Structure 1
Amino acid sequence: MPETPRKSAGTATRLMLAGAAVLVLLGIGAFWLAARRTAAPPAADEIVVTVNDATCEPATLEVPAGRRTFRIHNASDRPLEWEILDGVMVVAERENIAPGLNATLSQRLAPGTYEITCGLLSNPRGTLTVVATAESEARQAAPETREFIGPLSEYRVYLGRRSGQVLTATAALSERIAAGDVEGAKAAWTAARVPWREIAPVSARWSDLTNGMDPQADYLAKREEDPGFTGFHRIEYGLWSQGTTEGLQPAADKLLADAATLKERLGALDLAPADLAGNAAAFAQRVADQATGSQTPYSHTELAEFSADLDGIAKSALLVDPLVAAASPATSEALHKALGNARSVLDGFMVEGAWPSYDTIDTAGREKIAQAFAAVAGAAGAYNAAIGLE
């Protein structure tokens, strides 16, 4: 029996849609290959590090002290982050480096021996040796100014209050999980995340706490099934993706203990003047790296977190703004402009006063957020040089 016109039209439509889907996939593939092939060659002063599934190449580096630029090439098949670590402290990092692509990182390095991460959190770390120079020795001898006592004291109070809020909210989260209250646990989890992100310019520098409280499944060998998948995102996965509190109590108890450790560390933290703007700039770049991906992949609450990030970045950097404004008005103006633009970009996504789910934000929107935070990172990164701290 011959096919009816309606069936023929339906078949043709399905074939057209299938063909269009194939073309889209081919286009994405072509774009990815083009990105791999057309990446600009490294500059003469860039230090190239290739990260594969198991290690860094080279895994042992030696560089002179001072500002150094690294080009990180991801030769693995998963997104990765690359960090320079001083013990448990993160000196510098780049996140969300896509497979086959590169990211650059510039950091002023003091003499010493550091570790570098090489792909998955479980991979062996490499070694970075920074050799002293005449310039670095002179910088170490430079005295600190009394003008920073007030800003540093104010920031310590801020960190103490916010870390107390994290501890209170994680305690409530543990209680709600123990009670089997999914909705109550979600509310407590969300309440904990805001102050956690506000103090991230500092807390994110402790790699051991970050890897215990905030590890992403993508950076673990077995993803959600990995024993190292704990902390906020393990709980987030259980509450939002699985819809249950079952099995979450050990993660909640550990998170609460880690929150107490965080508060203790912040209370004893010895901040340097350069940390105020420096940590803000480093964290703003981290957020820029995260914005194109998914920071809370199960609850999709990224926009609320980016808003808290911006508040924390502004609090840290602007404590030295009066000094910067007196020394270099243009530098101060640039950061205020970047912060205002980032706030405008984020607020532009609100729907009736509420943050929409991040999975509704398209690639262009995410890139706009990333660019806004990158601009904040660049502007805040100029603060220390303007007041003689770099």
Structure 2
Amino acid sequence: MAGDPAVKSATVPGSYPTPAAPPLKARTRRLAGVALAAVAVFAVASPSVARPPRPPASVEISPGACGTVWPHPRPGTQVFVLHNTSATATEARLVDRAGAVHAEAEALAPGTHRALRARLGPGAYAFVCLPEDADAVTGPTVRISGPARGSGGGPAAVPVTNEDLVPAALDYQRWVGERMDTLVTSTDALRAAVERGDRAAARAAWLPAHLAYERLGGAYGAFGEAGRAVDGTAAGLPGGVRDPGFTGFHRVEQGLWHGERGPAPRRAARRLATDVRALRDTWERTRMDPAELGLRAHEILEDTLEHELTGRTDHGSGTNLATARANLDGTRAVLDRLRPLLRGRYPDLAGLDRHLNRAAALLDRQGPRPGHPRWTPLARLTRADRERVDAAVADLVERLAPVAALCEPRRAP
């Protein structure tokens, strides 16, 4: 699958190694920070307009209070200095009348200051403070009037809560469950071809089975150890491809494309079929964390860029581009469940769809066609084609970062 970070080595285009991926929660916080600041989904920092600087407004957070009316409210960039005088860590948000967040500060520790910048247009705004283990407190409303300067107010979005994500996560789980039988059937066909010693048939059966698994990209974190057994590579194993811990699709791939003989290929194929059946049989009892669904939409292609488009997961079949194409399908499956939440929050959802279509078309050109019955191996791409594919997927990774940030659940006021 497009990269379980605990299994597949982390690389970037050009085969430059990068450090191992941090734990999931750390990645979520990092991703949210990057998206919120750089993409400005919630404007933690906004570019200033060409006006004389004004002194920052002080917002004091104390038990039962969340700031006062700040001086000189006017359209444009406003800088606030938050000061938490309470005894508990606090989250602070600057919201408008509709509840859309224009700027936020998380985990503001007791006794600390933090600067916050937002670009505001005409309207009514208030700070909302959410102290740990206490009710939210809303500060006074400040009204900004007059014509908007420059581009007016900065980007803002109504926060998503965990409850908002539950229906999407349940629908996605059902979608995965409906595809488990196909995965089992195709893996059984692969096992049968290996057991009867028909290498050509086994090679032909390997890719459909593997892609059936790869299209379930958003679920890989929920599969846990079972997923690693099904789709792990030899990267990081002491014995490499001969390590007993090397199992799954890539273990079978290694044998099929490197002329392995004897009982080992049959054992590997049987083990894979058994593990896939176990995955299906336990899926009904598995519960995905709704908070991770938006992150998956980003991570599937982030891992595709790092793992598939560098060829580091290729154990002989040369089908990395086919896997990348399946990962696009997996990304769409997650996005389709998140669309009701993204409408009105992600301003260029149609543009994201266009770029997904563009990347799919680029990859489809390397797929089976008259005169070319197989997927083009990554190593045989022309430099221009490889650059186009890398650029298209990298662009999608950037465009999907705000999806992860927008769908990171926030506490309801």
User: Aligning the two structures, in what range does the TM-score lie when normalised by the shorter sequence?
Assistant: 0.5 to 0.7
CA shift, 1:133, in A, is: 5.5
Shift of 1:312: 0.6
In structure 2, the CA distance between the partners of 1:383 and 1:216, relative to structure 1 (3 Å rule), is same
When you count helix as a share of all residues, which structure comes out higher?
1
Q: Deviations over 1:239-271 (max 9, x none)?
A: 122165752121112112211222234322223
Q: TM-score, normalised by structure 1?
A: 0.61
Which among 314, 322, 336 is matched to residue 340 of structure 2? 322
Cα gap change, 1:351/1:189 in structure 2, threshold over 3 Å: closer, same or farther? Answer: closer
For 1:126-275, what aligned pairs fall within 5 Å after superposition? 134-135=90-91, 144=161, 147-203=164-220, 206-242=223-259, 246-275=263-292
In structure 2, what is the Cα distance between the partners aligned to 1:333 and 1:245?
53
Relative to structure 1, the CA distance from residue 107 to residue 233 in structure 2 (aligned partners, 3 Å threshold; closer, same or farther) is closer
- The amino acid that maps onto 1:328 is Y
Distance 2:288 2:221 in 1: 14
Q: CA deviation at 1:340?
A: 2.2
Distance 1:244 1:139 in 2: 64
Q: What secondary structure does 1:359 align onto?
A: helix
CA displacement 1:316-345 (0-9 Å, x = unmatched): 123212321223323x23422331232132
Asked whether 1:357 is paired with 2:377, we answer yes
Q: 1:100-146 CA distances to partner (integer Å, 9 max, x unpaired)?
A: 75459688837xxxxxxxxxxxxxxxxxxxxx964478699899466
3-state secondary structure, aligned to 1:333:
helix
Shift of 1:299: 0.8
Distance 2:273 2:4 in 1: 27
The 1-side partners of 2:240 and 2:383 are apart by: 24
What fraction of aligned residue pairs are identical, expressed as a percent? 24
Asked whether 1:370 is paired with 2:390, we answer: yes
How big is the alpha-carbon RMSD for the aligned residues of Structure 1 and Structure 2?
3.6
Q: Residue 344 in 1 paired to residue 356 in 2?
A: no
- TM-score by length of structure 2 reads 0.58
Deviations 1:300-325 (A, max 9, x none): 11222111110011111232123212
Query: Matches of 1:255 and 1:203 in 2, distance apart?
Result: 16
- Deviation at residue 357 of structure 1 after TM alignment: 2.8
State how many pairs are aligned: 282
Checking the alignment, whether the CA contact within 8 Å between 1:182 and 1:245 is kept in structure 2 is: no
| Aligned residues of 2:237 and 2:245 also touching (Cα < 8 A) | yes
The answer to whether the Cα contact below 8 Å between 2:237 and 2:246 also exists between their aligned partners in 1 is yes
Higher RCO (CA < 8 A, seq sep 6+): 2
Instruction: Pick closer, same or farther for the CA change 1:212–1:161 going to 2, 3 Å.
Output: same
Q: Could you tell which deviates more after superposition, 308-317 or 158-167? A: 158-167
Query: Quick one: distance in 2 between partners of 1:161 and 1:181?
Result: 30
Deviation at 1:351, TM superposition (A): 6.0
| Counterpart pick for 1:289 among 306, 329, 352 | 306
Q: 1:284 to 1:297 in 2, by over 3 A?
A: same
